[in-house]
Amino acid sequence: MKTTRQRLAALTLCLLTLASVTVAIAPAAGQTAGNDDGASNVTELDASFEYDSVDGCNPHVEGEWNSLTLTANAEAYAVTFHADGLDAEELVNIFDDGLDAAEPDISAVERVDDETVRLRVRSRNATLPANFSNVDTGDYEFVFEAGENATATATVTKAEVSCVRAEFLRGGSYESGRSGVVTVPIWLDETDEARVSITGSDLSLSADIVDGNDDGIVTLGLNTHLVGRDAPDDGHGRSYWTRQGLTVRDSADSIADIALDDVPGGDDPLPTGEYELAVDRERIDYTLATAPLSITDSAAADFESWMGPADTLANATAGDLRRAIANGTLVDNESVSNGSALVYEIQSASVFGPLEAAVSQYDGSDRYAQAFFDIAADRELSTVPGNPVTFDIAADSGARIDLRETYRNDGLVFAPDRDNRTLYVGLRTDRLTVRNGTAVGSGQEFEANLIINGEISRQPVTFRGVNATLALPSTPQTPVAPTPDDTATERDRSPTPDTPGSTTVGGVTVETPTSATADSTGESPDATTAVTGPGFGVAGVLFAVLALSGLAAGRNRD
């Protein structure tokens, strides 16, 4: 009887041992048991392509590549997918070329049937480069499935377009003093429309530009005295001055729309700092070109005086006066006789923002004269905001040269040279009109005062003799400025914008797709895993072995 009980106990322990071992070596619950794709442990899945469209034109990507990223809540799993319009063979070809770059995050691209492909994934975040070079144009939706409930979709467009390109000319880097006008020539290829954005120092705006004459160049004028200015007390909306501050040089070109997302605030010129210019295009989700823009503090103007024959001013342009200085027609002399020309040369980027803003309000040959009076003499705030420039010629006695009346008397000439940041103000000394005085007295000293954004430059002038001769002091003509900062200008002072024939364009730096960072467990998605749930496991096996050993010893004793 005792022997029978012992045999039954031994048989029971053997059965328990066998059950424990069976459970220990079985596939892990929730992994591959009852599901041969190894994906039932995935409950969250997300899929996305790096770019919405691919056309072979992206300067940041070589060829027609576009990376797929899969994100799940599992370390190792299998995911199947299909896409309408693409069979399994085409799907394998799209992803197989990028498999080496994706390892170890993704270990295999396998055909399941005529329309379905499986990926073996070994990372919670896996990236697989996809080559769309041999895919027909169209819109494709990829549907991914892992397990019974985890699904995700990702869409991509294979576009059929001529490659659109753009480039910033004149070296692709720009500088200006505060309140200056920055000239930005932009080259466009295979398009006559693009969007230019300007960001930095609390500024965010964009403008649609149109090449109206199909010459491939749109030259944008950026008036930093107006752009980003928010002057709520002048009766205009927040975007008013910014819209006034963006122009195109060629009348055939245009700005179709301006979007102002953010401005620095305050009734001030655009703050000093670093900004970024960028060119984009609709339906292209990458940037075609970028360029830096630096706005520096204003400095005292380079302010000089020149004398010469009165007829030098007849119909004079900035180029005429620049050449007259270069060839000695206008000289730096200590005196100028009555009936001669006195020319002030003002070199400062910061003059031109206010001046161009005022000029836009006028037509005709006298528009620069009227604009100069608005900003520097009579001050017309409805035309130009702020208090940027002051210019007058006055004597200690209180007498002043009346600039507007002198202009009406054909005694005053304005000649701007925006590309070289220079403004010429010329006076005929025999046609001066004096305010607060009947005439210029013999030996009377007048001083020209130029103030730009608080920076002061001065030039004294003395009338001598019965012929109302003007004499300049023999001391060096040095601007007086509170700060020693140099006036900032654009790095390239070429007076005309670059053209496609003279500028190398289209050269871009190509970057190949970057493979994903390895985050692998080193396990196959279908690997058998020890169970940590119900069952005796290894401990049960050991217990059974010890029990049998003890039973055998007892039987021998019997």
The pLDDT, as a whole number, for residue 483 is: 34
* Across 211-231, average pLDDT: 92
Q: What are 500's two structure tokens?
A: 């496609």
| Tens-place pLDDT, residues 274-320 | 999 999 987 666 789 999 999 998 766 788 889 899 999 999 999 99
Q: What percent of the chain has pLDDT over 70?
A: 68
The pLDDT, as a whole number, for residue 161 is: 65
| Tens-place pLDDT, residues 347-399 | 998 899 999 888 888 888 889 888 888 887 666 666 788 777 888 888 777 78
- Closest by CA to 468, choosing from 427, 513, 503, 507, is 427
- Comparing 515 with 92, the larger pLDDT belongs to 92
Most confident of 82-86, 394-398, 522-526: 82-86
| Tens-place pLDDT, residues 118-140 | 999 999 999 999 999 889 989 99
Q: CA 307, CA 341: separation in Å to the nearest integer?
A: 6
Pairing of strands 469-471, 335-336: antiparallel
- Comparing 556 with 172, the larger pLDDT belongs to 172
Q: CA 244, CA 225: separation in Å to the nearest integer?
A: 10
pLDDT of residue 534 exceeding 60:
no
Question: What's the gap between Cα 165 and its chain centre?
Answer: 16
Give Cα separations from 190 to 187, 281, 481 (angstroms). 10, 11, 49
The pLDDT, as a whole number, for residue 454 is: 77
pTM above 0.85, yes or no: no
User: 2: exposed, middle or buried (C-beta count within 10 Å: 0-12, 13-18, 19+)?
Assistant: exposed
